[in-house]
Amino acid sequence: MLRNVFAQSGGSGSNSGSGTIDFTKTGVQGQLTFETFGCDVFHVNPATPDRLTPDVTLFRELVRDLDLVAPDGRKIRMWTFGDPKDPKASNGTYPGPLIRVRETQVVHTVMSASKNTHTIHHHGIEPTTFNDGVGHLSFEVTGNYTYQWRPAEAGSFFYHCHKNTTLHFQMGLHGPLIVDPIDGPGRLFTGGPAYDVEAVWAADSLDPRWHLMNHDAGLCGDDVGLNRFEPKYFLISGVFSNRTKDDPRVMVKARPRQRILIRVGCAHYGPIRVTIGADATVVGNDGRGLGDPERPWGRPFLQPAGQPFELTTARRWDLIVTPQSPTTIPAKIEYLDWVTRAVRGVAETRIVVA
């Protein structure tokens, strides 16, 4: 029997009040069984073990309901992360508010769940299992929990709710996470390529049928149709495809000879095919820099103008484009079916150099 993992005692110094966790017991609140691993995950609000004084403290509240109005007038209910410290994001945004920190910083993400249970998983970061936000291997939060993590290296990541992940991610509970080098923005990683302008393109798609489901739909093996994903709307960074060419959240403006870093990520359930109308250098892959002296086996490479590349769900590429003269560079994202690979939708944008 794996019990009493949250038996706690007081601490001292920077760990004061955090509690001590018995890591010889891997279950949470009882015996780990097929049911407690699967659909009846433990629900608790523990103290953060081995708590340190943070360099950065972030706040995320969920769920915040948000109705997106599609180009055809349909309202689509989204679930979102809110940041109570940011007036522009306190009621929730889709995608979630940007998390931006520096490598080696101790970060606390203070999560508050007001509706049902949720988690926060900082995807691509490697904290302790207790702080990884994968409820099946730890717990789901019923009220409040402080996730403690320390990014080891700079790169492009994202965060999302890992409760009933397939549904909650589609509902909008995800957001970008950028880890800068120790010296801050301006380089992709320490000793890596510099950039002057930065864009984040998160390619997403929405199936309205999924947005009518309840919080736990399909979680315990019920057939609610999550095997069928039939998106009707296609977006980049929360912007519908009818506005991606001009919306400042997507369109890029730069001057000649400026180095433009584009962080492209796939939030679509299926492959995306990305085509940029200018030569680009791929300098990062899934949060790992190419050309990093500590990884001599990975090198930057040229992605020729007009040659498409594909990313599957959760994949990220970092590319640098350096136009030498005034021009408009087109960019296109095609959203492929996860089974047939047919093109289901297209979103286009542009890089304006003047």
The rounded percent of the chain whose pLDDT value lies above 70 is 91
Tell me what the mean pLDDT of segment 125-143 comes to.
91
Tell me what the mean pLDDT of segment 260-273 comes to.
99
Residue 308 lies in a domain: yes
Shared-domain flag, residues 212 and 107:
no
Write down the pTM of the prediction: 0.91
The count of residues in the chain is 354
Assign 27 a pLDDT band (cuts: 50, 70, 90): low
How many distinct structural domains can be found in the chain?
A: 2
Shared-domain flag, residues 55 and 165:
yes
Shared-domain flag, residues 332 and 203:
yes
What is the identity of the amino acid at 3?
R
Identify the domain containing residue 120 by its residue range: 45-180
For 327-336, write each residue's pLDDT tens digit. Answer: 999 999 999 9
Assign 3 a pLDDT band (cuts: 50, 70, 90): very low
Full 3-state SS string of 134-201? CHHHCCEECCEEEEEECCCCCEEEEEECCCCHHHHHHCCCEEEEEEECCCCCCECCCCCCECCEEEEE
Assign 135 a pLDDT band (cuts: 50, 70, 90): confident
Query: What are the φ and ψ backbone dihedral angles of 285, each rounded to 5 degrees?
Result: -145, 110
**Angle 303-306-307 from CA coordinates, rounded to 5°:** 50
Shared-domain flag, residues 79 and 219:
no
Residue 185 lies in a domain: no
Shared-domain flag, residues 240 and 299:
yes
Here the CATH number for the domain that contains residue 134 is: 2.60.40.420
Shared-domain flag, residues 145 and 244:
no
Other Cβ atoms closer than 10 A to 38? 12
Assign 10 a pLDDT band (cuts: 50, 70, 90): very low
Shared-domain flag, residues 55 and 169:
yes
Q: How far apart are CA 64 and CA 83, in angstroms?
A: 10
pLDDT of 166: 95
For 292-305, write each residue's pLDDT tens digit. Answer: 887 888 999 999 99
pLDDT of 20: 56
For 36-77, write each residue's pLDDT tens digit. Answer: 777 888 888 999 999 999 999 999 999 889 999 999 999 999
The pLDDT mean for the chain works out to: 91
Shared-domain flag, residues 146 and 54:
yes
Residue 10 lies in a domain: no
Residue 100 β-bridge partners: 178
**Angle 53-140-108 from CA coordinates, rounded to 5°:** 15
**Is the model's pLDDT at 279 over the cut of 90?**
yes
Assign 238 a pLDDT band (cuts: 50, 70, 90): very high
Residue 339 lies in a domain: yes
Shared-domain flag, residues 119 and 215:
no
Residue 116 lies in a domain: yes
Shared-domain flag, residues 176 and 237:
no
pLDDT of 28: 59
pLDDT of 292: 83
Q: If residue 64 lies in a helix (H) or strand (E), which one and from where to where?
A: strand 56-69
Residue identified by tokens 């103290």 is: 47
For 150-184, write each residue's pLDDT tens digit. Answer: 999 999 999 999 999 999 999 999 999 999 999 99
